[in-house]
Amino acid sequence: MPYDRTVHGLKSRTEILFTEVSHNTSVFIGIDGGGTHSFAVAVDSSGKLLAAARAGSLNFFSSGLPTARRNLKMLVGLVERQLPPNIHFKRAVVGCAALFSGASKSEQEKLCHGILPLARTRVVSDCQTACFGATLGEPGVVIISGTGSIVLAQNEVGKSRRVGGWGHILGDPGSAYWIALESVRAAIAAEEGLGLKTSLGRAIRRWFKVKKLTEIVPAIYRPDFAKEELAALAERVAKEVAGRDAVFCDICRRAGRELASQALAAARLARLKACPLPVYLVGGVLARNSLVRANLVAALKKSWPVRIEEPRLSPLSGAAAMALRDAGVEVTDRVVATIARFDQIERVRRPRQL
């Protein structure tokens, strides 16, 4: 076969069964352009997987436009290598972590010019692709907590409102970064006699491989120290002290309540009327930290009848479904089930909940 059908940079590559592609196949591209990694899939009009790839960040605010363009070009190139030569993309949707909503014409041109067909490409916020993947356009609230945090609520007439998503400097309460930063602050407070005794300091020293807490300062204030590095500390600390440290448990409880407050605010702003309210939980924190999740759900239920739903599709598959919809393809239950097969293959098994 003259083109490469391996899965570039993705797990479980031997398990994925690609659909054979002919030159007259309509190809639709979905891209989940995150702040750390970006992923792409190509599907046909029935939702069958044609190609998949992974590259670096598309967040042109944090990584810079040249880097974001380079990563997008790599991502699209890896997809093209898995398809017949000179095949055309019918539609593409790019979810980009740098955006609050849809990209302006200028932003889209700067990111995609010469890489994707501008007239057949739509660039939106990555939270919009996550929301569409979760709800398939139905009313509800999508709460996302990973490295950062954001909430999107969509009402019965398709209008949506966002709360959060301001980034680690201005906010992101309830995110992995926020949990990690609160943990470091609590450890410092305990060390200086300003806070409750906690084992967080020991866990943090192990993470940074230092003997004294003061030795983390050069690492954290390094010019190239990325927020993702500190955010990763949240899961490590949770594994070490989960359920055994009152201070960390309080941080997780506050994280859950912060996310609930954002969700309720978004629902009010969107004037959602659904009762019970469908709520979709997305992101690593809500998948792996049971204390945050439990406190989030409890806080929601105190204020509003809610129904916790599993997202129908991942953000990546949500982008592919949006591309199909943009092209006028009906996204039926059968199409959704076909696209979801890739999510099932690629889903990393959740570690023991903490």
Among residues 139, 138, 111, the alpha carbon closest in space to that of 33 is found at 111
The predicted structure's pLDDT at residue 10: 52
The predicted structure's pLDDT at residue 103: 87
Instruction: Please tell me whether residues 159 and 290 are part of one structural domain.
Output: yes
Render pLDDT for 209-261 as a digit per residue (tens, 0 to 9): 999 999 999 999 998 888 888 999 999 999 998 789 999 999 999 999 999 99
Instruction: Please tell me whether residues 163 and 306 are part of one structural domain.
Output: yes
Position 159 in a domain: yes
Instruction: Please tell me whether residues 153 and 182 are part of one structural domain.
Output: yes
The predicted structure's pLDDT at residue 348: 35
Instruction: Please tell me whether residues 233 and 206 are part of one structural domain.
Output: yes
The predicted structure's pLDDT at residue 9: 52
Instruction: Please tell me whether residues 126 and 155 are part of one structural domain.
Output: no
The predicted structure's pLDDT at residue 202: 95
Q: Do 80 and 62 form a contact (C-beta atoms < 8 A)? A: no
User: At 77, which CATH number?
Assistant: 3.30.420.40
Domain that holds residue 341: 13-135+313-346
CA atoms within 13 A on the CB side of 228: 11
Name residues of the chain where pLDDT drops below 50: 1-7, 11-16, 347-354
Measured in residues, the chain has a length of 354
pTM: 0.86
Report helix angle 246-270 to 176-191, nearest 10. 140
**Radius of gyration, alpha carbons of the chain:** 21
